[in-house]
Amino acid sequence: MNMYNKLQTLFNKLSLITRVALLMIASAGFILSCQGDKTNTAASDVAEKKQSALHNNGHETEEKQQQIYKDTNCIEPEMVFVKGGHFTMGNNKTTPFERPAHTVTLGNFRIGKYEVTVGEFRRFMNTHSYRSDADKDGYSFVWDGKDLIYSKTGVNWECDIYGNKHVNEEDHPVIHVSHYDAQAYCDWLSSRTGKTYRLLTEAEWEYAAKGGHHHDNFMYSGSDTLANVGWYSKNSDLKTHPVGQKKPNRLGVYDMSGNVWEWCADWYGNYTAKSQTDPKGPDTGNNRVLRGGAWRWFDVRARNTARRDLLPHFNASGIGFRLAASE
């Protein structure tokens, strides 16, 4: 007798109640087995969907990062590394505003190889809702081509020294920008690149102009002859020029003397004889510092230690800026 017949005979000898109970147990086991298969299948489907979503999201994130890289690769400025050190800031032999000379110690930082150009500032304005101070005020100060600076309506960062729209001057330093405009550009560039760009402190500006740790003892940034390194009243034809056309200083930085005045981060204040480390100027003030001289000014204003100060919302045909970044 085979196994099936033996089981059948045994099953027939059981009572009716026992048979029913065994059939119910068997049915329940079959139902649970089917449900388990369905649960496992559903869980598998969910896992696959999650894995697919993660893969797709990762792919999209990678594409987005590549797009950001492509974007920032176009807008990031050329920066020059400046090794920190100490130097003598100020000059006891010149104007009272440059006295007393004092020792300053700085950490490493980076400085823009060139002044910020019209083309670079245009990218900012084309991708941002920011309104410049000249746009808000409705005017800026321009040059009449002879000897007069006057306010002219409708002039902003898109204009040249006369207040006309730039023509083929994308590589000229941007002008008609206020301290607030320069700071807004730094904030925008930082948000677009993930790096931190800012304006130079006054101490960083002078240290870099003097060649940093090389301690060059030139009157101007890179030379004692201003015409070699900068555009000023006697060689500029009374206009701005494309950045980087003159000789750089020892660090490889261009136009720190002449071309346009450069906004610094500091509020303007008097010097003290006390030694300082990474000074950032007064906590408050009325005017911000500018350095470097410009195309219309005499050589004395382009000296490495010369200082100028203006209201932070002021803008004119001789004022631009340069970037810095902490190292």
How confident is the model over 97-141, as pLDDT tens digits?
999 999 999 999 999 999 999 999 999 999 888 999 999 999 999
Is 281's pLDDT higher than 90?
yes
End-to-end CA distance of the chain: 92
- Confidence band (pLDDT; 50, 70, 90) for 50? very low
Whether 73 maps to a domain, the answer reads: no
227 and 264: one domain? yes
30 and 99: one domain? no
23 and 140: one domain? no
By C-alpha distance, which of 194, 249, 188 is closest to 221? Answer: 249
| Structure confidence at residue 148 (pLDDT) | 82
By C-alpha distance, which of 98, 73, 96 is closest to 88? Answer: 98
Whether 100 maps to a domain, the answer reads: yes
155 and 180: one domain? yes
59 and 183: one domain? no
Total structural domains in the chain? 2
Q: Which domain holds residue 266?
A: 79-326
Sign of CA dihedral 189, 121, 176, 293: positive
What CA–CA distances, in Å, run from 135 to 19, 173, 263? 95, 18, 19
Burial of 175-212, coded b for 16+ CB within 10 Å and e otherwise, reads: bbbbbbbbbbbbbbbeebbeeebbbbbbbbbbbbbbbb
What CA–CA distances, in Å, run from 41 to 27, 31, 46? 21, 15, 9
120 and 50: one domain? no
85 and 63: one domain? no
Please, which residues have CB within 8 angstroms of residue 302's CB and are 6 or more apart in sequence? 220, 226, 230, 232, 257, 258, 292, 293
Angle between helices 179-193 and 118-126 (to 10 degrees): 70
| Structure confidence at residue 146 (pLDDT) | 85
238-268 confidence digits (pLDDT tens):
999 999 999 999 999 999 999 999 999 999 9
Whether 168 maps to a domain, the answer reads: yes
Longest dimension (CA), the chain: 127
Whether 118 maps to a domain, the answer reads: yes
91 and 39: one domain? no
By C-alpha distance, which of 105, 156, 164, 159 is closest to 132? Answer: 156
Strands (E) across 109-167 are located at 109-112, 139-143, 149-153
CA 278 from centroid of its chain's CA atoms: 20
Surface-to-core class of residue 318, CB atoms within 10 Å of its CB (0-12 exposed, 13-18 middle, 19+ buried): buried
119 and 51: one domain? no
112 and 181: one domain? yes
176-214 confidence digits (pLDDT tens):
999 999 999 999 999 999 999 999 999 999 999 999 999
